[in-house]
Amino acid sequence: MVREFGMIEGISGLLLEEQVDASSLERESNMRGWELGEYQELYNGLVEFMGSVLSTDHVPYEIRYDRAVKYAVTSRPTLTRHLSQCHAFMDLFWPGCRYSADLQLFFDCYRAAPIWESKADALFFDPRMCGLDGSILAERFNAFVAYMREQARERRVRKKISDWKRGLEDQEESIGEYLDALVADHPDIVGQRADLGFVKTVAVESDALPRMSWQVDGSGHWSQVPSKERSCGAGWETRARIDPAVTMRFRELFFENRRGADRELFEHMVGYIAKVEQGEKHGAYHIHVIFLFNAKRVKRLERMRLLAQERWKRVTNGLGIVFDCHDPDYAAQLRRKGLWSLDPILDGNIEQFEKLKAYMLWYFTKDAGQVVRVKPTARSRTLTMGQTSTRDSLG
């Protein structure tokens, strides 16, 4: 069983109220969707910020005095440059989702001890800004970082993050066992690889994800409201690129109803491996897939790839795109580098099987930077493996 990342419970007593229904927003002409690149910019900022919080003991600002007047001097830019984003980081918090321990730590701590004293204050990021208690913003930010570190120790967040990252080792073991069993039953197989993704921006509101923000009232109750973030005109990003629940649902739809219109695709498919990942560069969710066919029965592999592309586009309602990893130029490039490993395995050829196995282990577990930190539920699985003749297994 693959070890999924540890989750920590929210701080008790914090009320999340007046949650706006996304479907109702989609019916409003003034809906504000996530614009292309916005989610990734915030997400990368929060990951970097929490990495600095958890890996160092540095204080963000040095507090000094000039004739009894406090002012702040930046001590650690890796921390202070995220001050202006802290309130916006809460836009990444969606009730019901499960987060890696570092992200959940921020959401819990910020709701328990927000840096700003009012919603209006959150519009200003001057570290010298004085609060009602005489403290300046830089002091409150220092205290907030210290509070997160204290909570991290109590909740053993660093260990949970370490356990989560070791999940790749468990996935590698699961994939190896799966392939061993599959080839034992099917000594003649050929793999076809594809990367399933999504168009960047949408043409209709229903394919976008409404951007929501959070506000807190005088009694400490938090509520979710439509975002008032100013538009940059980049177009609304396709929801499946930033919402793992949608990505995983499309993956499920792809492998369901195999006896329907695309039965030809599954007729000689003996197994598959599919994994949801998040790109480091553009931040978009996508799915790495390898289809495994009976090498002696499937006749036209090009036809299978075309069927897979057409099916992906159909189950995603036209939003899906496919990178064909068997494109002649791309395949030739891999062959020149000695990285091509998708030639058929016939009669259980051990050498070719080990070559394929090593490639697939690398392909699906190569990069911790693409591991998904946000899941729809605690039981959601980013890695799935199955056989067409038996019930799908989860890795």
- pLDDT score of 392: 40
Longest dimension (CA), the chain: 85
Give CA torsion, residues 44, 283, 122, 15, to 10 deg. -100
List beta partners, residue 226. Answer: 212
- pLDDT score of 343: 87
Please provide residue 21's backbone torsions phi and psi, each rounded to the nearest 5 degrees: -75, 125
Provide the mean pLDDT of the chain: 85
Angle between helices 101-112 and 137-155 (to 10 degrees): 130
Query: Mind listing the pLDDT tens digit for each residue in 160-183?
Result: 998 888 888 889 999 999 999 999
- pLDDT score of 275: 95
- pLDDT score of 158: 92
Q: Where are the beta strands (DSSP E) in 181-260?
A: 189-198, 212-216, 222-226
Nearest to residue 105, comparing CAs of 165, 58, 54, 55?
54
Residue 71 carries which side chain, given as an amino acid letter?
Y
DSSP characters over 303-346:
HHHHHHHHHHHHHTTT-EEEEETT-HHHHHHHHHTT----SPB-
Query: Mind listing the pLDDT tens digit for each residue in 57-112?
Result: 999 999 999 887 888 999 999 999 999 999 999 999 999 999 999 999 999 999 99
User: Residue length, the chain?
Assistant: 395
Nearest to residue 313, comparing CAs of 197, 234, 395, 181?
197
Percent of residues in the chain assigned helix, strand, coil, to nearest 5: 40, 20, 40
- pLDDT score of 395: 39
Tell me the pLDDT of the chain (395 aa) as tens digits: 333 333 333 333 333 333 333 333 344 457 899 999 999 999 999 999 999 999 999 999 999 998 878 889 999 999 999 999 999 999 999 999 999 999 999 999 999 988 875 555 555 678 878 876 778 899 999 999 999 999 999 999 999 998 888 888 889 999 999 999 999 999 999 999 999 999 999 999 999 999 999 988 878 789 999 998 888 888 999 999 999 999 999 999 999 988 888 899 999 999 999 999 998 777 899 999 999 999 999 989 999 999 999 999 999 999 999 988 888 888 888 888 877 888 899 998 999 999 999 888 888 887 666 789 999 998 899 999 987 643 343 33
Q: Measured between alpha carbons, how far is residue 39 from residues 180, 243, 302, 337 in Å?
A: 40, 10, 36, 35
Residue identified by tokens 């990368």 is: 44
The Cα 178–Cα 273 span in angstroms is 9
Nearest to residue 309, comparing CAs of 292, 323, 294, 297?
323
Other Cβ atoms within 10 Å of 5 Cβ, number? 24
The Cα 240–Cα 237 span in angstroms is 9
Q: Measured between alpha carbons, how far is residue 335 from residues 98, 341, 371 in Å?
A: 41, 8, 27
Q: Measured between alpha carbons, how far is residue 92 from residues 89, 170, 214 in Å?
A: 6, 28, 10
Which uninterrupted H or E stretch holds 287? strand 285-294
The Cα 247–Cα 250 span in angstroms is 5
| 128 DSSP assignment | T
